[in-house]
Amino acid sequence: MIIRNEDGTMTLGADRLPGSVWGSNLRAILPTSRWVALSRRTAERAGRVCEVCDQPSFYGEGTRNPDCHEMWEFDRNGSHPVQRLTGVIALCGACHETQHSGLAELNDRWESVIATLCRVNGWDRADAEADIGRSRDRYRDLSSMEWDLDLTLIDGWVTLDGYPDLLIPSEGRATLGNTLDKTKRKLSLVVGAEIPDAIWRW
């Protein structure tokens, strides 16, 4: 969870996506060339550094563009739970892995997540461990539900066959493709040339 504070600084909380939505994301839905264009533009707008910690993304001996991370809201107030796209953000590799802290744990990157949370937020180890614990509880809670998908943020850029309002019920998500099980999108899609600014205005 990434929070922009009133003074412009950012707070980086550990996060992990509910298991019921793994692999079902913008990267799966968009043609690869359009995802690459969105990622590149997001990095350029951020000056090719992480929008949370202002560091480049270190890669071997050098650096690379920061990653393009999709931000989601999980809304349980309506008749169906809704996962809503709220924007994308450029993140360095270290900050990015805190947003997938379950995966980081599996990959033996626990200490790295702790170190990043402490570095970015000025926390001590106990603060970081407590925060990761909160993300784990939230993950358990959210994973028990099936989520409809709300992509209205990119209305006007993306036109999706079968879902003109860009609201996809949970049972329709499998038709959008999945980056985890590597299934391809079954519905046709048209993507405009201009990426709407709304995707960076979170």
The least distance separating Zn ion from the CB of residue 202, rounded to whole angstroms, comes to 16
Contact of 88 with 200, CB cutoff 8 Å: yes
53 binds Zn ion (CB under 5 A): yes
The least distance separating Zn ion from the CB of residue 200, rounded to whole angstroms, comes to 17
Q: Round to whole Å and give the CA distance between 55 and 90.
A: 11
Residues 101-160 that bind Zn ion (CB under 5 A): none
Nearest to Zn ion of 62, 78 (CB atom): 62
Interacting residue with Zn ion among 26, 85, 92, 160 (CB under 5 A): 92
The least distance separating Zn ion from the CB of residue 113, rounded to whole angstroms, comes to 12
CA-based max dimension of the chain: 50
Residues that contact Zn ion, how many (by CB under 5 A): 5
Residues 6+ apart with CB under 8 A from 151: 26, 29, 85, 158, 160, 166, 167, 168
Nearest to Zn ion of 50, 71 (CB atom): 50
Q: With CA atoms as reference, report the closest residue to 50 among 99, 84, 6, 15.
A: 99
Of 32-40, 42-50, 98-106, 186-194, the segment contacting Zn ion by CB under 5 A is 42-50
Of 44-52, 82-90, 125-133, 154-162, the segment contacting Zn ion by CB under 5 A is 44-52
Which residue type sits at 117?
Answer: L
The least distance separating Zn ion from the CB of residue 89, rounded to whole angstroms, comes to 10
Q: With CA atoms as reference, report the closest residue to 68 among 104, 37, 33, 106.
A: 37
Interacting residue with Zn ion among 28, 43, 46, 52 (CB under 5 A): 52
Interacting residue with Zn ion among 95, 132, 153, 168 (CB under 5 A): 95
Interacting residue with Zn ion among 2, 30, 50, 199 (CB under 5 A): 50
Q: Round to whole Å and give the CA distance between 190 and 185.
A: 13
Residues 6+ apart with CB under 8 A from 29: 151, 158, 160, 176, 177, 185, 189
Nearest to Zn ion of 49, 199 (CB atom): 49
Which residues bind to Zn ion, rule: CB under 5 A?
50, 52-53, 92, 95
